[in-house]
Amino acid sequence: MTDDRTPQGKGSDVHGIFEKIAGYYDRMNVVMTLGRHGKWCREVAERVAPPADGRLLDLATGTGVIALEAARRYPSAEVTGADFSEEMLRRARNKPGAEKVRWQHADAADLPFEDASFDGITEGYLLRNVSDLEGVLREQYRVLKPGGRVVILETCPPSGPAKPVVQWGVRTIVPLLGQVVARDRSSYSYLESSTLAFESPQHIARILKGIGFQAIGWRKKFFGTNVILWANKPR
């Protein structure tokens, strides 16, 4: 599916970056997380825990890592992988098992789904790339069924005594890896800056609570630079 809606994010520049990095996105995720990215995606899929024959939506699906894991883990579920990057979706469609997922071009700020359409929503690295964080989460609340769960994989700014060291590492290593592995320092300089400038899990949790979500929790990963959050829509 294609449409003419403006992609989610902070302008067309963000859309252009994700179109550009699609070819080496998976490789960079593995390198930047020292191989942990796949494990986190599996945890996201495990935590969403839909009912039998449920419907799952994976937002910012990218090359489909979470969506494909969900389809493997829940073979009776209907899994939809949605993204604003056509090139990311093209690569997702060519992966083994892709026929088990419905792939859809969509804007996370204006989802093309009816109210209460899904039993669960997953997402990876969406929120730091949107201009209206609360609005995007409200859209997820709208399309989630009562009793459904959202599970979010996201970056978060480092904190605690190790904060200066971790900040230095992110500022230095991420763009360097972009240059060495992908020969694209500028795109990964953006990803580095968006990581350090993004909100804390506590802030996201407050937004989720204000929207109406309950049973909110999170677990930090990888020196506090990544986090998995979860929340339920009340029945």
83 marked as binding residue: yes
| Spatial CB neighbours of 149, under 8 Å, sequence gap ≥ 6 | 47, 48, 49, 120, 121, 230, 231, 232, 233
Burial class (CB in 10 A: 0-12, 13-18, 19+), 4: exposed
CA distance 82 to 76: 19
184 marked as binding residue: no
108 marked as binding residue: yes
107 marked as binding residue: yes
Name the strands in the sheet holding 226-232, side by side, starting at the edge strand that comes first in the sequence: 101-105, 78-83, 55-59, 118-124, 144-155, 226-232, 214-221
Contact 216, 209 (CB under 8 A): yes
- Annotated binding residues for S-adenosyl-L-methionine, written as ranges, equal 63, 83, 107-108
- Annotated binding residues, written as ranges, equal 63, 83, 107-108
